[in-house]
Structure 1
């Protein structure tokens, strides 16, 4: 598997960069790489905070459709979201481009989110009759309120 997650520690901040061109899809290798980098940052006493960012033109644009029909490999997206939600150090998602589906759910699980003004977020799977599978429909209303959450989820 190719390396899709790397990190560097700068002034006590772990910068975890995800890089899975062209759209940083949530492939098995990306999920596994993110899990490993998070575990490393959590255990590193020199790390006081974590920033999750993505290389290329977009944050995470959702599932890796090239893996549909293949045997599933851990970790699951809900497990990664729980890991972020329960992180012992603050985690910030730095969003640019799009954060869709699982990418948006991953950002929602972080303690804080910072987005470029041009960034777009959403849960497009609802338009296919699918429920977001990693807690996005619960996290969005908690963060932005019910009215804005309904607009985000259905648009």
Structure 2
């Protein structure tokens, strides 16, 4: 089980991204683990990018690398979403094994309101 707990909204900072990469490496090596669960302790699942990193040089791993790592995991990964999953947080959740399918068809059809 992976538990993200960065007060107050679980931003996808460098520390979280690199921590997730290390956690997945360790979990895949654990022969006892059959299913991996990603959840958050605070009221937001994951809020997306860390605004403190805006305008600064990017540091690997980048979010697409983390999501690719989740998608390529040899074990099933389940996201326990609660509260809100914003931006990159929703992308992380969608990288996990999803029983639920979601979509924003209205965006492509031009039916959204501002």
The interval holding the TM-score normalised by the smaller chain is 0.7 to 0.9
- Whole-angstrom CA distance in 2 between matches of 1:107 and 1:16: 13
CA distance in 2, matches of 1:58, 1:28: 18
Identify unmatched segments of 5+ residues in structure 1: 1-14, 115-142
CA distance in 2 between counterparts of 1:24 and 1:108 reads 17
Query: Greater strand percent: which structure?
Result: 1
**Count of equivalent residues:** 110
1:109 pairs, out of 74, 81, 95, with 95
Q: How does 1:13-32 map to 2 (within 5 A)?
A: 15-32=1-18
Contact 1:16 1:52 in 2 (8 A): yes
2:12 matched to 1:57?
no
8 A Cα contact 1:93 1:113, kept in partner: no
Provide the rounded CA distance (Å) in 1 between the counterparts of 2:20 and 2:77: 13
Alignment partner of 1:37 is 2:23:
yes
Runs of 4+ in 1 over 6 A off after TM superposition: none
Deviations 1:61-82 (Å, cap 9, x if unpaired)? 1111011112211111111111
**Structure 1 length-normalised TM:** 0.65
Q: What is the aligned partner in structure 2 of residue 149 from structure 1?
A: 104
Report if the CA contact (8 A) 1:107-1:113 is conserved.
no
Deviation of 1:149 after TM superposition, in Å, equals: 2.7
User: Which structure would you say has the larger RCO, counting Cα contacts within 8 Å and 6 or more residues apart?
Assistant: 2
| Runs of at least 5 residues in structure 2 that lack an aligned partner in the other structure | none
